[in-house]
Each structure stands twice: as C-alpha cells, then as structure tokens.
Structure 1
Amino acid sequence: MTVAEAGELLGVTRQRLSTLVTSGKLKPVKKVGTVVTLVLLGHVQTLKKELEAGRKKYRPYDE
C-alpha cells in the first residue's frame, strides 16, 4: 500500500504521515523512485489502533 493510501485509511494528512515515517512509527518497506513509498498493511492497521486509542484519550469530545 502506498503512503497516500495509508493516510486515507488512518485519516491523517500527508504532513502527519511524513512525521510518522520520520519518527519511525510507520516504517516504509520500499521506495519506488523519489515519489512513491510503500508500507505494509499490517503496520498501518496496528498504527490505526494506536491512533484511535490516543484520540479517545485526548479528544473525548469528538464522539
């Protein structure tokens, strides 16, 4: 899955995705040229659970 697809699944911006990759929370598997970066679906799903838990904890008013 591409990073753009991961962003849609996670519900985050490209800037946030870049931060997640830089911090090591989302690990790219392969870079195709300079534009496309691929990540594993399993990593994205795990990160999605972590982000949802954080959102529930720090933004309870969103529900």
Structure 2
Amino acid sequence: MKFKDREDLVRFLADQVLTTAEVMEILGVTRQNITRLMKKGDLRTIKDASVKLFLRQDVEELKPRLEKLRAQYRPYDKKEEEGDK
C-alpha cells in the first residue's frame, strides 16, 4: 500500500489501526479476553510490544462472531437489557 504523503499515512493509521483500549470498546470485552483471543489466533496484532496495535478490519470481522457467542452463552445479558427499558 502506497501513500501520497505523510498526511495520507497519518489518516490511514488514525482510521484503521486500533489500540487495545479501542478494541475492548468495540468488542465489548476485557483486556484478558483480548489476550485469550490473541492466543487462540482469533485476533492478530500488527505490533506486539508494550503497546499492541490491531487492524480495524480484523476487529470488525471478529465482532459478529463474538456477539453470536455472547447471545448463545450469556442469554441473561439480553434479559437484563430488556428489564432496563
């Protein structure tokens, strides 16, 4: 992938590269779950150092699968949401 200039690269990084905290928010999981997903190979880092970085596309592809599992194994979450209304 080539970028026209530095601003193009910075825009790409801001839009497409996520930190662990951003992944936690998007997927609705804890840091421990992210570590487990990485160990299982379900989520790959593009930088694995003290700061881990992830591609947005990988996270967005994983999200529906996790939501389906959450609905299957945590049906009480849905009941609590309905009770809040």
What is the TM-score normalised by the length of structure 2?
A: 0.64
Tell me the distance in 2 between the aligned counterparts of 1:26 and 1:35: 17
The one of the two structures with greater contact order (alpha-carbon pairs below 8 A, sep at least 6) is 1
Greater than 6 Å deviation, 4+ residue runs: none
CA RMSD, Structure 1 to Structure 2 (Å)? 1.2
Gaps of 5+ in 2: 1-17, 79-85
Q: Which residue of 1 aligns with 2:61?
A: 46
Between structures 1 and 2, the one with greater helix share: 2
Gaps of 5+ in 1: none
How many residue pairs are counted as aligned between the two chains?
61
1:16-60 C-alpha deviation (Å, 9 max, x unpaired): 1111111110011123xx311111101111111100011112222
Identical counterparts, % of pairs = 46
